[in-house]
């Protein structure tokens, strides 16, 4: 890849194999200060930042994770330079978080009496915690050490840790925020530059400052491009492995957005962006109950153990309840069997449906979108998220009511039927086709529409999985091996979800009166 800079531009401009992406800092010549820029860093950060902004729609929920702070009043999002994409959110209801926080506070004490650990220490990071504690002017952890795991750096118990122990607390003054931008630089930034753009600028400045940067121990441990596996960085062959999944489309969309729109993102928001050194060395376990919580009063972020750990155990936290689709796009990894897997499916009113316009009109009038949907994808009236249905004989939890309603609408063949649906909606809660058709044949027809759509997707996924390796030249590439496995984790997870939904639909159809 070739990168150049446009030193005269009002923006940081990167040219990547003919395409151009820019981060407009709105200053006359930012290159004076941050030249030369690190293109991979910028692009990745942009990717990360887009995600942060979109996630903001989580209203009334606590958003937190290793590098993310959350409090009642503000949401602070951490940008771990890990692939510069490691931004995660955890969905917890506000009251849960407050309660958790109070109970955590009671147990807020360091465990300092246990025997020394046998953790697999990362010698290159031996000086990291002492350095960070010097900056913080406070103890950050005395039960954790930085070591090496299968998934890069990780934090390990260096002493016995009991569930409920506070294992780390990183004061805000040891976190990297855009507030640190040099005043003259900050003054020159226009209002259009939000926190994420500022953080990007700060990182570039710090990187450029080299050994003189106060953050050098942290900056020097930023992930290298070769370690980044977000689908944002996948090449065409690699993306082809997941072409049957909605992640493919979402990746293409996000890439385009990053390159084209990042500079125009209005960031008038309540986010505070920062990076939380040390805490963001923790790897993800989807089943962990530990998250990063922040206390604005005490001006620190902390993590409490959700279980007992022996010395040498890796200590994990949960970044969020994320499907493999989200993990691979936002974080660049997947889990072999992810309980949070889900599948995004899109259903349209066919172009050749004679009632198409009437159906679209009704959808527009009656459709109310689920506010609970905080998946990585943008909802539209024809996009639905299905989850694994635990029992084919149950109520079908995992299949959204909106999908079944949509299918009932699709199955209508006369204006009269549509008018009846509309009337019924008006008599109830206004939502269209939420009740099963009284006529079993019509209900069957509607559900067969979904079933046939899902069966088609199952076929596509199965074919995708069976496909031989894309290219011989990849056979030695570790990168390709990692990404191939990610693709398989994704597709197998989606297949599991879709098969469970198909089983339920088959059972439902067979048992209709």
Ligand X SMILES: C[S@@+](CC[C@H](N)C(=O)[O-])C[C@H]1O[C@@H](n2cnc3c(N)ncnc32)[C@H](O)[C@@H]1O
Cβ 151 to ligand X, closest distance in Å? Answer: 3
Q: Could you tell me which stretch among 80-88, 265-273, 391-399, 426-434 binds ligand X (CB under 6 A)?
A: 80-88
Task: Decide: is 278 part of the binding site for ligand X (CB under 6 A).
Answer: no
* CA distance linking residue 60 with residue 62, whole number of Å: 7
Cβ 155 to ligand X, closest distance in Å? Answer: 8
* CA distance linking residue 192 with residue 208, whole number of Å: 24
Residue with CB nearest ligand X? 152
Contact criterion met (CB below 8 Å) for 198 and 24:
no
Torsion from C-alpha of 255, 70, 160, 153, nearest 10 degrees: 20
Cβ 4 to ligand X, closest distance in Å? Answer: 29
Among 272, 283, 294, 323, binds ligand X (CB under 6 A): 283
Residue with smaller CB distance to ligand X, 121 or 512? 121
Contact criterion met (CB below 8 Å) for 129 and 145:
yes
Q: Could you tell me which stretch among 243-251, 278-286, 430-438, 471-479 binds ligand X (CB under 6 A)?
A: 278-286
From the list 328, 395, 436, 389, the residue with the least C-alpha distance to 88 is 328
Contact criterion met (CB below 8 Å) for 332 and 102:
no
From the list 174, 96, 85, the residue with the least C-alpha distance to 128 is 174
Three-state secondary structure call for residue 118 = coil
Q: Could you tell me which stretch among 50-58, 97-105, 240-248, 325-333 binds ligand X (CB under 6 A)?
A: 325-333
Among 50, 153, 408, 445, binds ligand X (CB under 6 A): 153
Cβ 316 to ligand X, closest distance in Å? Answer: 7
Residue with smaller CB distance to ligand X, 311 or 332? 332
Q: Could you tell me which stretch among 56-64, 152-160, 189-197, 502-510 binds ligand X (CB under 6 A)?
A: 152-160
- Report 112-151 residues binding ligand X (CB under 6 A): 151
Task: Decide: is 238 part of the binding site for ligand X (CB under 6 A).
Answer: no
CA angle 268, 204, 130 (to 5 degrees): 100
Task: Decide: is 483 part of the binding site for ligand X (CB under 6 A).
Answer: no
CA angle 116, 166, 308 (to 5 degrees): 60
Cβ 475 to ligand X, closest distance in Å? Answer: 22
Chain-centre distance of CA 364, in angstroms?
Answer: 29
Among 51, 238, 280, 341, binds ligand X (CB under 6 A): 280
Q: Could you tell me which stretch among 82-90, 101-109, 298-306, 419-427 binds ligand X (CB under 6 A)?
A: 82-90
Q: Could you tell me which stretch among 40-48, 328-336, 382-390, 486-494 binds ligand X (CB under 6 A)?
A: 328-336
Three-state secondary structure call for residue 78 = strand
Cβ 344 to ligand X, closest distance in Å? Answer: 22
Among 45, 135, 154, 407, binds ligand X (CB under 6 A): 154
Task: Decide: is 276 part of the binding site for ligand X (CB under 6 A).
Answer: no
Q: What DSSP character marks residue 310?
A: -
Three-state secondary structure call for residue 80 = strand
From the list 389, 374, 369, the residue with the least C-alpha distance to 432 is 369
* CA distance linking residue 377 with residue 373, whole number of Å: 9
Burial of 313 (0-12, 13-18, 19+ CB in 10 A): middle
Cβ 140 to ligand X, closest distance in Å? Answer: 16
Task: Decide: is 332 part of the binding site for ligand X (CB under 6 A).
Answer: yes
Residue with smaller CB distance to ligand X, 147 or 400? 147
Neighbours of 356 (CB within 10 A): 13
Among 13, 30, 33, 82, binds ligand X (CB under 6 A): 82
Neighbours of 281 (CB within 10 A): 28
Task: Decide: is 331 part of the binding site for ligand X (CB under 6 A).
Answer: yes
Using left for φ > 0, alpha for ψ between -120 and 50, and beta otherwise, residue 433 falls in left
* CA distance linking residue 142 with residue 473, whole number of Å: 47
Count of residues binding ligand X (CB under 6 A)? 17
- Report 403-432 residues binding ligand X (CB under 6 A): none
* CA distance linking residue 121 with residue 145, whole number of Å: 7
Among 26, 152, 312, 436, binds ligand X (CB under 6 A): 152
* CA distance linking residue 333 with residue 212, whole number of Å: 33
Q: Could you tell me which stretch among 78-86, 367-375, 421-429, 498-506 binds ligand X (CB under 6 A)?
A: 78-86
Q: For residue 363, what are its two tokens?
A: 């959808």
Among 76, 284, 366, 387, binds ligand X (CB under 6 A): 284
Among 14, 44, 77, 86, binds ligand X (CB under 6 A): 86
Binding footprint of ligand X on the chain (CB under 6 A): 66, 80, 82-83, 86, 151-154, 280-284, 331-333
């Amino acid at each position: 890849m070739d990168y150049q800079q446009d030193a005269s531009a009002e923006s940081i401009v990167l040219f990547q194999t003919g395409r151009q992406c820019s981060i407009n800092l709105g200053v006359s010549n930012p290159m004076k200060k941050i030249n030369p820029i690190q293109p991979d860093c910028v692009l990745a950060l942009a990717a990360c930042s887009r995600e942060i902004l979109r996630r903001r729609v989580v209203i009334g929920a606590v958003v937190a994770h290793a590098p993310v702070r959350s409090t009642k009043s503000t949401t602070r999002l951490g940008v771990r330079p890990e692939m510069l994409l490691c931004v995660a959110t955890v969905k917890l209801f506000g009251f849960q978080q407050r309660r958790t926080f109070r109970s955590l506070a009671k147990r807020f004490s360091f465990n300092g009496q246990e025997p020394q650990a046998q953790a697999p220490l990362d010698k290159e990071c031996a000086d990291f915690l002492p350095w960070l504690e010097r900056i913080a002017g406070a103890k950050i952890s005395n039960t954790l050490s930085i070591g090496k795991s299968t998934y890069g750096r990780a934090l390990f118990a260096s002493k016995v840790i009991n569930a409920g122990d506070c294992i780390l607390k990183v004061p805000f003054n040891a976190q990297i925020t855009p507030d640190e931008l040099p005043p003259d630089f900050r003054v020159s930034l226009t209002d259009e530059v939000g926190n994420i753009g500022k953080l990007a600028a700060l990182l570039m400045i710090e990187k450029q400052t080299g050994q003189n940067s106060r953050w050098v121990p942290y900056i020097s441990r930023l992930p290298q491009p070769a370690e980044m596996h977000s689908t944002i960085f996948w090449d065409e062959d690699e993306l082809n492995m997941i072409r049957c999944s909605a992640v493919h489309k979402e990746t293409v969309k996000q890439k385009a957005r990053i390159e084209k729109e990042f500079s125009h993102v209005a960031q008038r928001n309540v986010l505070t962006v920062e990076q939380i050194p040390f805490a963001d060395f923790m790897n993800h376990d989807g089943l962990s109950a530990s998250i990063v919580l922040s206390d604005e009063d005490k001006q620190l972020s902390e993590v409490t153990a959700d279980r007992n750990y022996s010395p040498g155990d890796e200590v994990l936290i949960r970044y969020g309840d994320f499907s493999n689709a989200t993990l691979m796009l936002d974080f660049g990894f997947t889990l072999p069997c992810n309980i949070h897997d889900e599948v995004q499916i899109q259903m349209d009113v066919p172009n050749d449906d004679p009632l198409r316009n009437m159906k679209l009109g009704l959808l527009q009038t009656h459709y109310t979108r689920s506010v609970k949907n905080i998946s990585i994808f943008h909802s539209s009236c024809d996009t639905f998220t299905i989850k694994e249905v635990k029992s084919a004989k149950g109520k079908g939890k995992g299949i959204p009511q909106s999908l079944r309603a949509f299918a009932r609408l699709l199955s209508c063949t006369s204006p009269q039927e549509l008018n009846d649906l509309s009337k019924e909606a008006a008599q109830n809660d206004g939502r269209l086709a939420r009740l099963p058709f009284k006529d079993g044949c019509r209900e069957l027809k509607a559900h067969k529409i979904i079933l046939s759509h899902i069966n088609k997707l199952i076929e596509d996924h199965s074919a995708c999985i069976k496909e031989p390796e894309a290219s011989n030249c990849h056979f030695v590439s570790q990168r390709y091996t990692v990404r191939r496995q990610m693709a398989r984790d994704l597709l197998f997870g989606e297949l599991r979800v879709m098969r469970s939904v198909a089983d339920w639909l088959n059972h439902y159809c067979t048992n209709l009166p």
